[in-house]
């Protein structure tokens, strides 16, 4: 017999002065292969058309549907209701600006973060469209691609103690971005230049290393390894700067 699911959903419209943060309860009969995205769509279509939540790809690719599911950040479209208890509590991701109900503005946060850590290849080489692309070693290209799989869903930031406490912390997604550029032979930044970007409390030294970020990352990025490598590299650059060794 199908389970009857209870959904406790956070409701609040920050644009409406009359709106007060509260939780609404909805009931739904569980269906085969039901995801939270399907459940929310059914609640919106059948019970409350004002329910606000984000989605786009419905396949774990765009990162739009991230929310806090029974206390843990995750993607609604990748979460099967059968993996959850009968009662499911859904909250918007913390840290990001609330748009309404379960919808948050991750885009503005990620744009600012990418600018802050200068998330692009730094090179003085001029692009020449007449020459062939430079080749990259396959194994290295794959290593870089592994880190490029981040979909900027914001789950790692929402789960991060430091990001919840301080607004200026760049979060695991940004540190992962820097780790990716450090690997890239086309990026001509020196260790000192990287240090200026992430060798601070807003960067790698603000990270407490408890790794909630890796636990919740829906793309299973190797954040633990990358944060460790970055911490060691930036620590070593700090020592070299202190003793005026070349960096």
Q: Quick one: what does residue 155 bind among ligand FES, ligand SF4, none, with the CB cut-off 5 to 8 Å set by partner type?
A: ligand SF4
Please, what is the angle between helix 171-183 and helix 106-116, to 10°? 40
Which residues, in sequence order, are CB contacts of 58 under 8 Å at separation 6+? 37, 65, 77
Q: Quick one: what does residue 113 bind among ligand SF4, ligand FES, none, with the CB cut-off 5 to 8 Å set by partner type?
A: none
Q: Is 117 a binder of ligand SF4 (CB under 6 A)?
A: no
Structure tokens at 140: 């290295």
Interface positions, 43-82, toward ligand SF4 (CB under 6 A): 63
Contact 59, 77 (CB under 8 A): yes
Question: Toward ligand SF4, which CB reaches closer, 98 or 160?
Answer: 160
Q: Cβ of residue 140: shortest distance to ligand FES, in angstroms?
A: 28
* CA distances in angstroms from 228 to 79, 107, 140, 214, 244, listed in the order given: 29, 27, 19, 12, 24
- Distance CA(140)–CA(183), nearest Å, equals 8
Q: Quick one: what does residue 160 bind among ligand FES, ligand SF4, none, with the CB cut-off 5 to 8 Å set by partner type?
A: ligand SF4
Q: Cβ of residue 228: shortest distance to ligand SF4, in angstroms?
A: 10
Question: Toward ligand SF4, which CB reaches closer, 65 or 156?
Answer: 156
Judged by CB under 6 A, which of 64, 182, 197, 221 binds ligand SF4?
A: 221
């Amino acid at each position: 017999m199908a389970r009857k699911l209870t959904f406790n959903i956070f409701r609040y419209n920050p644009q409406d002065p009359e709106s007060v943060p509260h939780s609404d309860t909805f009931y739904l009969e569980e269906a085969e292969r039901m995801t939270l995205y399907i459940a929310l769509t059914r609640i919106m279509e059948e019970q409350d058309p004002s329910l606000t939540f984000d989605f786009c790809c419905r396949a774990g690719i765009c990162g739009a549907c991230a929310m806090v599911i029974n206390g843990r950040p995750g993607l609604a479209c990748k979460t099967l209701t059968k993996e959850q208890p009968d009662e499911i509590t859904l909250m918007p991701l913390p840290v990001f600006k609330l748009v309404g109900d379960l919808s948050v503005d991750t885009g503005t946060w990620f744009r600012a973060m990418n600018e802050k850590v200068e998330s692009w290849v730094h090179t003085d080489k001029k692009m020449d469209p007449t020459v062939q692309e430079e080749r990259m070693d396959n194994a290295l290209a794959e290593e870089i691609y592994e880190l490029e799989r981040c979909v900027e869903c914001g789950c790692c930031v929402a789960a991060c103690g430091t990001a919840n406490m301080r607004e200026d912390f760049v979060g695991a997604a940004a540190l992962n971005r820097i780790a990716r550029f450090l690997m890239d032979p086309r990026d001509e930044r020196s260790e000192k230049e990287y240090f200026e970007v992430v060798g601070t409390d807003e960067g790698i030294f603000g990270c407490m290393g408890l790794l909630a970020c890796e636990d919740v990352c829906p793309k299973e990025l190797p954040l633990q390894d990358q944060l460790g490598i970055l911490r060691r590299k930036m620590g070593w650059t700090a020592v070299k700067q202190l003793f005026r060794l070349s960096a």
